[in-house]
Structure 1
């Protein structure tokens, strides 16, 4: 017969949620930094433009 699963504790649930939110916050911070770098002209990487896409 099927047995019900045990309830997850609040601490485990909160830990998982904090990890997930932390990763999201880090990704958002990196994206914002990258956007600022591109807009200010300080970027050192090459990103495709519309002219580059036609050459391939």
Structure 2
């Protein structure tokens, strides 16, 4: 089983964690933006169908 030879420095591990968290923040902002555009009916790049109560079986 492979074992790391040396301990990872605190700055490197903090940098990796920061990068991972920033990716998550970006994804959440993109999802929120898409949700707002869908709710406001101004979306051009997202396909969805309005459901009517008559269509439900």
TM-score (norm 1): 0.74
Q: What RMSD, in angstroms, separates the aligned Cα atoms of the two structures?
A: 2.4
Which consecutive segments of 4 or more residues in structure 1 shift more than 2 A? Answer: none
- Relative to total residues, which structure has the larger helix share, 1 or 2? 1
Unaligned runs of 5+ in 2: 51-57
Which position in structure 2 is the counterpart of 1:33?
33
Count of residues paired in the alignment:
50
**Structure 1, unaligned runs of 5 or more:** 51-56
Task: State the TM-score, normalizing by the size of structure 2.
Answer: 0.73
